Amino acid sequence: MLRKRGGALAAIAMAGVLALSACGGGGEDSGAGSGGDGALKIGLAYDIGGRGDQSFNDSAARGLDKAKQEFGIEATELEASQGETDAQKEDRLRQLAEGGYNPIIAVGFAYAGPLGKVAKDYPDVKFAIIDDYTPGTDDGPNIANLTFAEEQGSFLVGVAAALKSKTGNVGFVGGVNTPLIQKFQAGYEAGVKAVKPDATVQVKYLTQPPDFSGFNDPAKGETAANGMLDAGADVVYAAAGGSGSGVFRAAKDKGAMGIGVDSDQYNLPSLADVKDVIITSMVKSVDVAVYDFIKSVNDNAFKAGNKIYDLEVGGVKYATSGGKIDDIQPRLEEYKQKIISGEIKVPSTT
């Protein structure tokens, strides 16, 4: 009896294998062929979320796409998994280096340690890391660190919030409570206080690390924003990636105003139905940084070290799409010049 069942099982397994091999034979051939015509072969490693996260990673992808079109280069994009270790990140970068990819771009501070190690072993490969410059960890003759002065841009949208607010009460919704997002908060608060020293700034972070869902949870964003609006705020700054759409939804329902982040969110197709509440956005030009880096390698003009994308070089800026802040633009420009000249020092920690 037992043997008979075993036989049946074996038969099923055999059938399965046959079916599989049949499918395998029928499938089309895929795989990344190598360019081989001297053009750049770019390897890009995203942080969790990857292309399509409506935020930070997508911005890097835009820069890559632009470079791809312009220079006719080949690119392979890899993505981090939830809860992975540094060893996996290191392995990802090593595989790119072994595969002949040059330059290699790592998106996000989590790559700092792994990138530093791999770059040492591949001195001929050019590396770039976005959002991190830690001397001793990820600096070297073949590493370009592309960092941003998020606090400066956030200062200006803070000024805009204070000037536009009628209640003297504004909100800040942060995606995940990390030092990076705290930089946005610090700049924003300083900007608000610069205009209205007695204004109230309500602060709420959607999640705490290691729960990074706060960057992609519109429902949480909406709840947090609703709470702030109920408590008297009439402008809310959403430094929360994909969760921002929930913040704008709440602002629209309550006739309040919202401020976007990372890209000019007024023009994002996915936010078209709530765009009339977006008075401005703190644009962080990750796409420009990625494009510039690829261009520099393409032109043989690679420069190692920390490149700070701040207000002065247009790495961060406030968006004017929609014309909602046209009336206060002279004031904003005034503050912008003061920051560039160093007259105003924007804090980067709260």
Partner 1 sequence: MGRISWRSVGLGLAAPVGALVFALLVCGIILSITGHPPFDVAEDMIGSLERPRTVANSLNSATTYYLSAVAVAIGFKMRLFNIGVDGQYRLAAMLAAALAGASFMESLPSVVRILMTILAAMLVGAVWSGIAGFLKITRGVSEVISTIMLNAIATALVAFLLNPDRLAVTVAGSNNIGTAPITEGGQVPGIPYSESSSDVFGLIVLAAVVGVAYWFMLNRTRFGFDLKATGQSESAAVASGVNVKKMVLASMLLSGAVAGLVGMPQLLGASHSYSLDFPAGLGFTGIAIALLGRNHPIGMAFAAFLWGALDQTSNVLDLSGVPKEIVVIMQGVIVLSVVIAYELVRRYKLRLEQRDVGRALGTTKTPEEAQA
CB burial readout 201-215, b (16+ within 10 A) else e: bbbbbbbeeeebebb
Nearer to partner 1, 19 or 272 (CB): 19
Please state, in angstroms and rounded to a whole number, the distance separating the CA atoms of residues 342 and 3: 84
Question: Segment near partner 1 (CB under 8 A), from 57-65, 112-120, 263-271, 283-291?
Answer: 112-120
Please state, in angstroms and rounded to a whole number, the distance separating the CA atoms of residues 232 and 224: 13
For residues 185 to 224, the per-residue mask of contacts with partner 1, x marking binding by CB under 8 A and - elsewhere, is: -----------------------xxxx-------------
Does the bond joining 103 to the residue before it have cis omega, within 30 degrees of 0? yes
**Nearest distance from C-beta of residue 28 to partner 1, angstroms:** 5
133 in contact with partner 1 (CB under 8 A): yes
Please state, in angstroms and rounded to a whole number, the distance separating the CA atoms of residues 50 and 44: 10
Question: Segment near partner 1 (CB under 8 A), from 24-32, 163-171, 275-283, 287-295?
Answer: 24-32
Among 4, 30, 69, 301, which residue interacts with partner 1 (rule: CB under 8 A)? Answer: 30
Please state, in angstroms and rounded to a whole number, the distance separating the CA atoms of residues 62 and 44: 12
Based on DSSP, count helices (H) and strands (E) in the chain, helices before strands: 10, 12
Among 34, 88, 270, 337, which residue interacts with partner 1 (rule: CB under 8 A)? Answer: 88
**Nearest distance from C-beta of residue 163 to partner 1, angstroms:** 30
Could you tell me the CA-to-CA distances from 70 to 17, 66, 126 in Å, in that order? 46, 6, 20
16 in contact with partner 1 (CB under 8 A): yes
Footprint on residues 285-344 left by partner 1 (CB under 8 A): 306
127 in contact with partner 1 (CB under 8 A): no
36 in contact with partner 1 (CB under 8 A): no
Nearer to partner 1, 36 or 197 (CB): 36
DSSP string of 49-89?
T-TTSSSHHHHHHHHHHHHHHHH--EEEEEEPPTT--HHHH
Question: Segment near partner 1 (CB under 8 A), from 27-35, 151-159, 163-171, 239-247?
Answer: 27-35
Nearer to partner 1, 173 or 195 (CB): 173
Residue 213, by phi and psi: left (phi above 0), alpha (psi -120 to 50) or beta?
A: alpha
User: What's the sign of the alpha-carbon dihedral 205, 208, 209, 212?
Assistant: negative
Write out the residues near partner 1 by the rule CB under 8 A. 2, 9, 13, 16, 20-21, 23-32, 76-79, 81-88, 90-92, 94-96, 99, 109-110, 112-113, 117, 121, 131-135, 137, 147, 177-180, 208-211, 306
